[in-house]
């Protein structure tokens, strides 16, 4: 029970890494507020937590919509009086080299992946500042550190999230709020399955070549990232501030191997 009695909001937790993290946090004693754009997937995650004996509520909200995010945060505070941990996980992919990306796609990826960190943080932070306590986990990616073919818009957002994490840490350290980033490598989730399906003529061949990119020789699984998020959410990581945490099967540091 490493998260006993903590109230935790996880954005985009109806699927993939967010869902795996919500289920793990539920098992570790947290009250998990599941958020997603998609009501049926979000409700399903929340129901699974409760069925397993945990505590959870689902709130539908679009992380790019200020009013929707504010209402979600207000509802959590009204019911639970605090948010101990915010995990800014929601994100979307963007495929294409820079010259191939249409302005609408560019703006949409910026909006979800950057505003989706800015808005929940903006409305949660004042409550954490009042209590002088909190942990914020921002979802970056190892793409913030290395180039990866045809992902210009996505890489730009994840680099921005890493920079924002460090900036937030400087501003909120005086309030005893920790802000750290997760940098996963390629993790097998619906997000990556969709990328493989839509970007390659032969998705199975692409999957095999993706696996070779990791020193581990395989892709990560959502639980690999969930366990790292658990560490950052818990008090065990109290001396980690503004840190990038890699969960990447060695892809960043093994790139020249």
Pair of tokens at residue 167? 């900036």
For residue 72, count CB atoms less than 10 angstroms from its CB and return exposed for 0-12, middle for 13-18, buried for 19 or more: buried
- Between vectors from CA 64 to CA 188 and to CA 180, what angle results, nearest 5°? 60
Separation between Cα atoms, residue 214 and residue 253, nearest integer Å? 10
Residues that bind ligand NAP (CB under 6 A): 11-12, 14-18, 36-38, 41, 62-64, 89-92, 112, 116, 139, 141, 184, 186-187, 189-192
Candidate list 154, 172, 195, 246, residue with the active-site label: 154
CB of 138 to ligand NAP, least distance (A): 9
In the residue annotation, 154 being an active-site residue is answered as yes
- CB-wise, 38 or 100, nearer to ligand NAP? 38
Q: Which is nearer to ligand NAP, 41 or 178 (CB)?
A: 41
Q: For residue 88, report the phi and psi dihedrals to the nearest 5 degrees.
A: -80, 90
Q: What is the CA radius of gyration of the chain?
A: 17
Backbone angles phi and psi of 72, in degrees to 5: -65, -45
> Nearest approach, Cβ of 249 to ligand NAP (angstroms)?
11
Nearer to ligand NAP, 135 or 186 (CB): 186
Closest among 175, 169, 89, 167 to 128, alpha carbons compared: 175
* Of 104 and 173, CB closest to ligand NAP: 104
Closest approach of ligand NAP to the CB of residue 23, in Å:
13
Q: How far is the CB of 115 from ligand NAP (least distance, A)?
A: 9
Helix, coil or strand: residue 2: coil
CA distance readout (Å), 112 to 93, 103, 105, 214, 236: 10, 14, 11, 27, 30
DSSP 3-state assignment of 151?
strand
Cβ closer to ligand NAP: 7 or 10?
A: 10
Closest CB to ligand NAP among 9 and 177? Answer: 9
d(CA 255, CA 111): 30
CB of 92 to ligand NAP, least distance (A): 5
DSSP of 173-193: GGGTEEEEEEEE--B-SHHHH
How many other C-beta atoms can be found within 10 angstroms of the C-beta atom of residue 2? 16
Q: Catalytic site residues?
A: 154
């Amino acid at each position: 029970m490493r998260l006993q009695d903590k109230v935790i909001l996880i954005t985009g937790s109806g699927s993939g890494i967010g869902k795996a993290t919500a289920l793990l946090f539920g098992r570790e004693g947290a009250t998990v507020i599941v958020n997603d754009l998609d009501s049926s997937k979000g409700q399903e995650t929340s129901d699974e937590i409760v069925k397993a004996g945990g505590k959870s509520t689902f709130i539908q909200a679009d992380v790019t919509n200020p009013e929707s995010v504010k209402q979600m945060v207000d509802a959590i505070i009204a019911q639970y009086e605090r948010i101990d941990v915010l995990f800014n996980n929601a994100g979307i992919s963007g495929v294409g080299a820079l010259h191939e990306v249409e302005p609408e796609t560019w703006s949409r990826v910026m909006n979800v992946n950057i505003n989706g960190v800015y808005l929940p943080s903006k409305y949660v932070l004042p409550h954490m500042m009042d209590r002088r306590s909190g942990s914020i986990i921002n979802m970056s990616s190892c793409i913030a550190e290395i180039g990866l073919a045809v992902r210009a818009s996505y890489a730009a957002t994840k680099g921005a999230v890493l920079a924002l994490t460090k900036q937030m840490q400087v501003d909120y350290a005086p309030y005893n709020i920790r802000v750290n980033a997760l940098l996963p490598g390629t993790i097998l989730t619906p997000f990556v399955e969709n990328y493989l399906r839509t970007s390659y003529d032969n998705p199975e061949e692409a999957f095999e070549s993706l696996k070779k990119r990791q020193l581990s020789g395989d892709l990560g699984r959502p639980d690999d990232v969930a366990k790292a998020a658990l560490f950052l959410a818990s008090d065990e990581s109290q001396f980690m501030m503004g840190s990038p945490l890699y969960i990447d099967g060695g892809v960043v540091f093994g790139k020249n191997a």
